Amino acid sequence: MKHLLITIIFIFSVKAAVYAQASPPRDWHMLDFVQDHVYGISVEKAYQTLLKDKHSTPVLVAVIDGGIDTLHEDLRSVLWHNPREKNNGMDNDGNGYKADIYGWNFLGNRNNVNTNVVEDSEESQRIYFQYKARFENISPSALKTRHDQDLYGMWSKSKQLISDKVTEDGKKFDAWFKKFQYYNSFLSKNLGKEEYTIGELINYDPINTEAREMKSGFLSLTHGSPSKYTNKQLYLIVARRYKHYLKSGPKFPDNAPVDFRSPIIKDDENNLSDRYYGNNNVRAEKCDHGTHVSGIIAADRNNGLGIKGIADNVKIMMVRAVPDGDEHDKDIACAIRYAVDNGAQIINMSFGKSISPGRQWVEDAIRYAEKKNVLIVKAAGNDGINIDSLAVFPTAAYLDGPRKAANVITVGASSASFNDNKLIAPFSNYGKANVDVFAPGVNIYSTVEGGNTYKAMSGTSMACPVVTGLAALLKSYYPKLSAVQIKKIIEASVFKIDQPVMKPGTDEEVPMSDLAKTGGIVNAYNALLLAQRLK
């Protein structure tokens, strides 16, 4: 029963990172609107025409993420192998990171490659409990220094974020339970029995579309439940939980979150100079996300297996710094610098959070990348919010003024179809000033952990590597282009959307130019045409 309860709770409380949608063509994000009638990025069209018989040069792309399956059939040939390391367990290249063959793991124990941070808490909870004793009974007017005022502001924002999440989780649970009741009632009538097992439901062949939707909906709500469990057993479990929720209401956490990081990494997290920590295990556990992102960018296009990545001459450097939870700013700052120092020309960052206590460290690392001509592509986030008003970190905006990092491109997610004006993914963040472009991010089919395994995922985490792949393609065929030039080409060559689109999280139709600076979806064919004229 314990496993079943955890499964059910997970369904409504999981952090919004990936979303299941109705399946378009498997490789829709590679296709062309005119030829294929989906809003892909026209990259296959570009290969068949503009790039035919053209020479490319290798490009090194760093993926800062949660790890990669180094044994995957579609990725083995595109993994970066540090040319200065001999795979003998030593730090042959003297960069401070011992045996960093495929990249580096900033979430690992330095003495044991099998001991790694896999999950972590949310930054808002970490900040709230860190400063709770200091600020919970104090008036903001009593704070005299700018430093204390800034800390209080961050603590107060963390408190509000937790409160909002608790309330939202309660609403989700309420809606989830009502949907459970509705599906169950419908299916009981259609099956002609009050009690049925999950196994019986799986084998049930619905006679019409509505029944198929009810079956699919109920199975998605109870995903992972053993086939022998009955609908009545499940109902008793969730009804007990729902009764408790109604009695106690949404509950603000009483205790500080578990410290997952410190006991494993054993660094001084408050000292950025202490940066030679971690281990070389870039695979670790739960590496689906990073493997999926990497496949979108660079899965082997010539091996006849699985899928084709967007870029055809890329090596992937994995820098593991993103756990299942909120990343720590020190790890991200170190990861960016590691990627730059070891030759990455483009960095993919499919992660983000609402609070950034080490924002300056990350900002300095982004400036460092800019100085070294490295392009950073980052996901806009999956909260369905306007990030012009509510920032998601890391951000291209600098703390010390209106200037933004010229080497950062921020990506929202679009879908395959224009039906019902839902071209923009309903979960995608947006912002006329702080989202640069949209790219396919719904049901993107790519590599996942398992050696020869693939599946579709959705999120701005998937839209981000679509743009990274395009950037790598431009750099590969036009190697003299700078990071800033590539960004400008991608922005100037978007497929403009003139019809109104639905603003995420609302029923409001708006011009797409209200949701992103360029008002369009990235397009490889257009970008390569523009790059050819500028070379």
What is the spatial distance between Cα 462 and Cα 507, in angstroms, rounded to a whole number? Answer: 24
b/e per residue, 326-337, with b = 16+ CB within 10 A? bbbbbbbbbbbb
* Same domain membership, residue 222 and residue 370: no
CA 56 to mean position of chain CA atoms: 29
Buried/exposed 68-78: b ≥16 CB within 10 Å, e otherwise: bbbebbbbeeb
Q: Which two tokens stand for residue 155?
A: 């603590």
The whole domain housing 209 covers 123-248
> SS3 of 298, please?
helix
| 507 CB neighbour count, 10 Å cutoff | 7
Cβ within 8 Å of residue 98, ≥6 positions away: 89, 90, 91, 279, 280
Do 141 and 87 lie in one domain? The reply is no
Tell the burial category of 177 from Cβ atoms under 10 Å away from its Cβ (0-12, 13-18, 19+).
buried
Question: Same structural domain for residues 69 and 9?
Answer: yes
Collapsed DSSP state (helix, strand, coil) of residue 269:
coil
Q: Are residues 108 and 191 in the same domain?
A: no
How many Å apart are CA 329 and CA 40, to the nearest integer? 33
State which of 248, 278, 294 marks the end of a domain.
248
- Supply the CATH number for residue 315's domain: 3.40.50.200
The amino acid at residue 247 is K
- The token duo for 152 is 């209080």
What 3 state SS string does 156-213 have?
A: HHHHHHHHHHHHHHHHHHHHHHHHHHHHHHHHHHHHCCCCCEHHHHHHCCCCCHHHHH
Single residue among 209, 224, 248 that ends a domain in this structure: 248
Token representation of residue 517: 């600076």
* pLDDT in the model for residue 252: 81
How far is the C-alpha of 173 from the C-alpha of 193, rounded, in Å?
27
**What contacts 24+ positions apart, CB below 8 Å, involve 223-228?**
223/7, 223/11, 224/7, 225/4, 225/7, 225/8, 225/198, 226/4, 226/198, 227/197, 227/198, 227/199, 227/202, 228/197, 228/198, 228/199
Instruction: Yes or no: say if 89 and 305 are a contact pair by the CB < 8 Å rule.
Output: no
Is the domain of 83 the same as that of 207? no
Neighbours of 152 (CB within 10 A): 18
Are residues 205 and 330 both part of a single domain? no
Residues 122, 328: Cα–Cα separation, whole Å:
10
Tell me if 530 sits within 8 A of 489, measured CB to CB: yes
Task: Tell me the Cα Rg of the chain.
Answer: 24
Please report the pLDDT score of residue 250 as a whole number: 64
Q: Are residues 418 and 523 in the same domain?
A: yes
| Closest to 328 (Cα-Cα) out of 138, 61, 122, 485 | 122
Residue 249: the pLDDT is 64
- How much is the pLDDT for 11? 33
CA angle 305/375/84 to nearest 5° reads 70
For the chain, what is the domain count?
A: 2
Q: Tokens 């090596």 correspond to what residue?
A: 315
Do 321 and 396 have their domain in common?
A: yes
Distances (CA, A) of 485 to 63, 237, 434, 528: 21, 57, 18, 12
Q: Among the three residues 248, 272, 296, which one is the final residue of a domain in this structure? A: 248
Q: What pLDDT, on a 0 to 100 scale, did the predictor assign at position 22? A: 43
pLDDT of residue 248: 67
pLDDT in the model for residue 1: 33
Shared-domain flag, residues 318 and 376: yes
Q: What is the pLDDT, as a whole number, of residue 170?
A: 79
Residue 93 shares a structural domain with residue 8: yes
- The answer to whether residues 333 and 452 belong to one domain is yes
Residue carrying structure tokens 């990669």: 68
Nearest to 334 by CA among 353, 362, 370: 362
Query: Are 454 and 320 part of one and the same domain?
Result: yes
Give the pLDDT confidence score for residue 253 in this predicted structure. 85
What does each of the 535 residues of the chain score in pLDDT, given as a tens digit? 333 333 333 333 323 333 333 457 899 999 999 998 899 999 999 999 999 999 999 999 999 999 999 999 999 999 999 999 988 889 999 999 999 999 999 999 999 999 999 999 999 999 999 999 999 999 989 999 999 999 999 999 999 999 988 888 778 788 888 888 999 999 999 999 999 999 999 999 988 888 888 898 888 888 777 888 999 998 888 888 777 767 766 678 889 999 999 999 999 999 999 999 999 999 998 999 999 999 999 999 999 999 999 999 999 999 999 999 999 999 999 999 999 999 999 999 999 999 999 999 999 999 999 999 999 999 999 999 999 999 999 999 998 878 899 999 999 999 987 665 789 999 999 999 999 999 999 999 999 999 999 999 999 999 999 999 999 999 999 999 999 999 999 999 999 998 899 999 898 999 999 999 999 999 999 999 999 988 6
